[in-house]
A = this chain, B = another copy of it.
Amino acid sequence: MQATLITIGDEILIGQILDTNSAYIAQKLNEIGIEVHEIISVHDSEKHILDALEKAKANSDITITTGGLGPTKDDITKQTFCRFFDDTLTLNEEVLAHVEHLFANYVDTPISEMNRRQAWIPASCEALFNRFGTAPGMWFDRNGHVTISLPGVPYEMKALVENEVLPKLQKRFQRPFIYHKTILTIGLGESAIAERIEKWEDALPAHIKLAYLPNLGKVRLRLSAKGLHGNEIEEDVNRQIDTLLPLIADIFAGFEDQESLEVRIARLMCEKNLTLSLAESCTGGQLATSFTKHPGASGFFKGGLVTYATSAKTEILGVSAQTIENFSVVSKEVAQEMAVNARALFATDFAISTTGNAGPTKGDSDAEVGTVCIAMASKAGVVSAKFSFGKNRERVVGKAVNKALEWLLKEISKK
């Protein structure tokens, strides 16, 4: 069972926005056993969209397009679908009622002809209810091939996929099972891991694939299997993992399909009734964000300080000016005082601090670009270390955040 995803819109092809929709849809299709054969991004051009629809029909069972359904003139998806299916636009009364309801209740401006035009859709399609917007999804089922058109606005598209597309696809098609399991490792490079597990990798059965995904000091190992029986392929993968884990015990940091690093920390902290606070300098709020972007963070995260200016470190966090003078602001000693003081200020079990120079220039710190000191305080005391994370600002901050999460996870996993 194969699907092709087509993203319609010039903004992707000029690099103005990232295609986040395709990743989301691919993930959801995989979960119900549908593989994505190809993802294509095309311009808002009739010829180009028609070519992509033709090709998708030839190479796969399902085509899903996103984008081009807005009320403005640059959006041409509906007309192009009429051309492709030899169809005409007709007024859908149900969609019209919904559009009128949205405008009457949630929009400040009065409804216009342009808004009402959203209710005109190809006669042969089934409209999929878009509760959050005016553009309905569209479902075409012709000669065994299903073509689905969705709006490009991510939260409208996501609700349509969850509530309409997935249930309908599950009913419409018999699907095999696809199972992925991803192991997170920390502390060893991809080729060093590959050499270490070479024999194991060579002995993998043909229906299980291994992929290496390196990123900012972490390497993920993903095993993928496809088969007719869900239980069987899941067991196959887990049997392989049982023989793999002893080979990588020192670098194993969890399974990622189940939980990201920060979600795992959140769960453990809540289970063990532990609390956390932060004192961030070079990570500038990103460590706090990594926790607060997930629901339920208030269960363990009490808060943090972003002490970007040196005066904020001394005056608010109470880092001693003498320590800064003796060791410089980017030092293990300053990181330690930051963590200890944040822990006391917020009255938490753990506190983590970062201070460093993320670049691109040295600025007013003495430290080389890429130098980051991290400290972690707990009732057991305080530990700290100095790192050198390269020259790229975004990567320096990303690696510092990952390293802090890694420390914290190791520490709370022990207890």
Contact residues of A with B, CB < 8 Å? 9-20, 22-28, 30, 35-44, 48, 70-74, 107, 109, 112, 114-115, 153, 155, 180, 182, 188-192, 194-195, 201, 209-214, 222, 224, 278, 280, 283-289, 291-293, 295, 297-298, 301-309, 311-312, 315-316, 345-347, 358-361, 363-364, 392-395, 397
Contacts and interface: CB of A to CB of B under 8 A. Distances in A.
Given A15-B24, A73-B210, A305-B305, 13 more contacts: A12-B23, A17-B213, A39-B39, A70-B214, A72-B190, A153-B214, A278-B306, A283-B292, A284-B288, A284-B297, A285-B304, A288-B306, A316-B345
Contacts of A361: 295
B192 A109 contact: yes
Contacts of A70: 190-191, 212, 214
B19 A15 contact: no
B306 A304 contact: yes
Nearest to A20: B18
Contacts of A287: 285
Main secondary structure of the interface of A (DSSP, over half): mixed
Indicate how many identical chains form the complex: 2
Contact of A292 (B155, B195, B285, B303): B285
A26 B36 contact: no
A10 B225 CA distance: 13
Contact of A23 (B15, B192, B201): B15
A222 to B, nearest CB: 7
18 contacts: A13-B36, A14-B26, A16-B27, A16-B180, A17-B213, A19-B19, A19-B23, A38-B48, A71-B194, A72-B191, A73-B194, A74-B210, A155-B392, A284-B297, A288-B288, A295-B358, A298-B309, A315-B347
Contacts of A304: 285, 305-306, 308
